[in-house]
Amino acid sequence: MKMLKALILVSFCCLMVSAASCRPDTTPDESGLTGQTIEVSRGNLIVTVSGNGTTAVNEEVDISFEKGGKVSQIYVSEGDKVIAGQTIALLEPVDRDSLELAVLQAEATLAQAEYNLDKAENPYTDEDIEEAEQAVKDAEDRLDIADDMLSYVLQHGGDWEVLQWKMEVLNAEIQLQMAEDNLDDILNDRDEDQIYVLEKQVATAEKSLEVALAELATETLTAPFTGIVSRVYLDEGKVLPSPSVSQIPVIQLIDPTSMEFVISLDEIDIPGIMIGDEAIVTVDAFPEYILEGTVISITPLPLVEAGLVSYDVKITFHIPENMDARVGMSATADIVKNERENAILIPNSAIYTDSAGNALVKLVLSDTTDVTRIEERPIVIGISDGLDLTPENSNTLT
C-alpha cells in the first residue's frame, strides 16, 4: 500500500511566473478553457512504501545464575523498572559446611605447594649463606697472613722457615678455594626442572582455592541493562542445580525504549529498499506520535503464498519516554524510498503524452489585455508516488 502523498515532481523546460495552470482534459467549457484548472506550486514530496506489523522489543534476555544453589532473595517483581548493574536476586550455597571445609583444604594445599616451591628456590637458609660467606672471609684473612709471613721469612728467616710458610700459603689457598666453592654451591644450587613443576603445583592450588571460594560465596544477579522486568520465573527458596546440569532462567528483562516489528513488502515494492533506510512509524494505539524508524534487516528469500511473492523487512524504532507502547501492539511503517524538497508539484491527471511518448501539460496563460490562451509545454518528470491528488487533501495545491 502506498502512503497518500499524491504528488509528482516535474521540472519545466520554461517556467512561467505569471498565472500558470495545468489542464487535465481537453473538453472546452463556456470560457473556452477545458477541464479543471489547478495552480502549480512548490512543496516537498516523499515517496514511500508501507506495511503493517506487530511490535516486539529489540533487547530481551533471560538472566540466570552461574552456579547452583538456593535462591535466597528476589528484589524485583514483574513490571518493575531497573537500571544497569542493579542487584535483582541473590543465590546462597546449599551445603555451606562442606564448602567451608573445601576452602580450608584448598588453603592448606596452596600453603604446602608454596612452601615446597620456596625450599626449591632457596634450599639454604640465610644463616647457611652467612656462615659460608664468613668462611670465605676467614680463608682470605688466613691467606693474607700466610703471604705476609712468607715475605718476611724470605728476607729474614732460614730455609726451614721459608719452606714452612710456603706450605702454609698453599694450604690457605686450598682452604679459600674450598670456601668459595661451597658458597657458590649454596648460592646456585637450584633444580630448575623441579622448580618448574612446583610452580605449576602452586598455580593449580591457587585455582582450586579460587573455585572453592566462589562456590562458597553468595552469587549476586544484576541487571545487564536498564529496562523492565517482564517475567520472574522463580520464587525465593527455590534450589537450582548447576548450570552444567540444567540452565534455569530466573528473571526476564526487556528494554522497552527500543522496539522492532516486521512488515511484508511485495515484489513490486521491495526493489530499492536497503538496510539503513529511514521509515516513518506509527503505532495504532498512539496515532498522535510520529516516530523515526530504520530498516535493520531484509530477508534474502521470498515468502510465496497463493502465488504472491513478498519479503519480510524488519524495522527498529525508539519509544519516547512518555509513550506507554507495549509489546504486541499494531504498528505501521512507511519506508522512505525517495524524497525531494522545494519541488514543483503536479497531480498525475494533469499530465498526458503525445504520439511520441513525450510528457506534456497544458498551461493557461493571460497577457496584458486579459486574453487567455492555452499552450502545451513539454515537461521532465522526476519522482512520483504513483497516485493522484485533489485540492481537498493537499496543502500544496489550490
Q: Are 146 and 165 in contact (CB under 8 A)?
A: yes
Per-residue pLDDT at 3: 37
Task: Please determine whether the domains at 8-57+256-393 and 60-93+218-254 fall in the same fold group of CATH.
Answer: no
Domain ranges of the chain: 8-57+256-393, 60-93+218-254
**Structure confidence at residue 293 as a pLDDT band (50, 70, 90):** very high
List, for residues 301-334, the tens digit of each pLDDT value. Answer: 999 998 899 999 999 999 998 898 989 999 999 9
Per-residue pLDDT at 26: 42
What is the mean predicted confidence (pLDDT) over 290-308?
93
> For residue 287, is pLDDT > 70?
yes
H or E stretch at 346: strand 330-346
**Of 61-65, 198-202, 365-369, 371-375, the least confident:** 365-369
The mean of the pLDDT values for the chain is: 83
Per-residue pLDDT at 387: 58
List, for residues 155-206, the tens digit of each pLDDT value. Answer: 888 889 889 999 999 999 999 999 998 888 777 777 788 889 999 999 999 9
List, for residues 109-149, the tens digit of each pLDDT value. Answer: 999 999 999 888 877 777 888 888 999 999 999 999 999 99
Q: Rounded to whole angstroms, how far apart are CA atoms 298 and 265?
A: 10
Angle between helices 159-188 and 126-156 (to 10 degrees): 160
CA distance to 43, 244, 396, per residue, from 342 (Å): 5, 64, 11
Number of other residues whose CB lies within 10 A of the CB of residue 189:
10
- How many H helices and E strands in the chain? 4, 22
How much is the pTM? 0.53
Place of cell 489547478: 38
Sequential DSSP letters for 239-255: EE--TTT-----EEEE-
> For residue 11, is pLDDT > 60?
no
Q: Are 110 and 202 in contact (CB under 8 A)?
A: yes
Q: Rounded to whole angstroms, how far apart are CA atoms 184 and 302?
A: 82
**Structure confidence at residue 39 as a pLDDT band (50, 70, 90):** confident
Instruction: Provide CATH code, domain 60-93+218-254.
Output: 2.40.50.100
CA distance to 78, 85, 169, 226, 254, per residue, from 234 (Å): 12, 20, 90, 21, 17
List, for residues 195-240, the tens digit of each pLDDT value. Answer: 899 999 999 999 999 999 988 899 999 999 999 999 999 999 999 9
Apex 368 CA angle, 367 and 370, nearest 5: 70
CATH number of 8-57+256-393: 3.40.50.1950, 3.40.50.740, 2.40.30.170, 2.40.50.90? 2.40.30.170
What is the mean predicted confidence (pLDDT) over 281-287?
95
Per-residue pLDDT at 255: 92
**Structure confidence at residue 101 as a pLDDT band (50, 70, 90):** very high
> For residue 394, is pLDDT > 80?
no
Per-residue pLDDT at 369: 66
